[in-house]
A and B are shown apart, each in its own frame.
Chain A
């Protein structure tokens, strides 16, 4: 992997038990995409389609842009639900994927997630 000296924090995806490093100035989804890793479903990467919906179980994030209310209600937002493309990590993150591409986490996917 090419040298990237930016400070990073680990982001842990519970379903796949995978962890990837993410910089403080990129979204959780961009951090995953930049490394060619998988685990969180990737859609529009602009807060509109909702497939990268996650539940932040531990850690702090800061917002990067608006999140579609069609996919994350105000109440859900207070409970830690957001879109991975719209938040950057402040601290280490542990999250659960709740977006629509749940099928990749069915039996068999986890083994190939690092491929």
Chain B
């Protein structure tokens, strides 16, 4: 079957105590492990594998790598061949390279972002278990995020020099990793420049997204919530914890997601995001947004682009 879903994101943080407090008290994650290098591992209450976020001490913010889980261990060998046949170098990191994990296939996307694929991560179970479970546990804190849902990576886009890593990534993800395109933004004469794409492996509108910018980086990692009311509550949590909100609760035209954006204490952008949007399917026609409707695509209600949202990332 190949890739199932996003597995974890490894983030650089500049103040570990502040970062841990943020991911625990604001998102509602729980620390599950710390390794000898000082990396801290966390999971959401509804996730069954041991972690979905790794915090790494650093002197700067940003993404170290993003990992996706494949169904079978043999998928890693098949995908290694496909990635290399495409002309991208890979490395197979042995079991135990990261604690509680099996081997990982490591490579860089055309945009330069490090991606890792894996089949095994220690199973620890959700907070409600599998035997006659309640719909939610009693020990939820903060926003009570269910799971890490997707990430948005900023990719170099420079029409003057002909560099478009959004288009390169989208082709690679389609041809090699078998993602499918759900939505895109096209700009320039006749919409010739593919400036942003949303891609899926699951039945949600995006498991990964790429947006063009002056340099590569991390725009955000997103966590799933059930409903619009949960979005309001998460905004309340952010007010109570003096968390810097980037974009107050609103809806995206693109993906139809109900959303709030905020920053962790190192400036890495987080999103809590609710709603299915729509049922993403391989035969669903691709939705296209043009330059003149870009504002509505991003912020459906106002249609106004917000500089801190569109131009700031780590």
Contacts and interface: CB of A to CB of B under 8 A. Distances in A.
Given A51-B312, A66-B15, A68-B14, A46 B62 contact: no
B266 A69 contact: no
Contact of A48 (B246, B267, B308, B311): B267
A10 to B, nearest CB: 25
A70 B62 contact: yes
Q: Which applies to chain A's interface (DSSP): helix, strand, loop or mixed?
A: loop
Interface stretch (A11-19, A37-45, A88-96, A105-113): A37-45
Q: Which of A45, A49, A100 has the most CB of B within 10 A?
A: A49
Contacts of B14: 47-48, 65-66, 68
Contacts of B265: 46, 65
A44 B59 contact: no
Interface string A53-70: 000000000000110111
Interface of A: 41-49, 51, 65-66, 68-71, 100-101
Interface of B: 14-15, 18, 59-62, 244, 246, 263-269, 307-308, 311-314
22 contacts: A42-B308, A44-B61, A44-B244, A44-B269, A46-B263, A47-B14, A47-B61, A47-B266, A47-B267, A48-B266, A48-B267, A49-B61, A49-B267, A65-B18, A65-B265, A66-B14, A68-B60, A68-B267, A69-B60, A70-B314, A71-B60, A101-B307
Given A44-B269, A47-B14, A47-B266, 18 more contacts: A43-B267, A43-B311, A43-B312, A44-B246, A44-B263, A44-B267, A45-B267, A46-B265, A46-B266, A48-B60, A48-B314, A49-B61, A51-B311, A66-B15, A68-B14, A68-B61, A70-B314, A101-B311
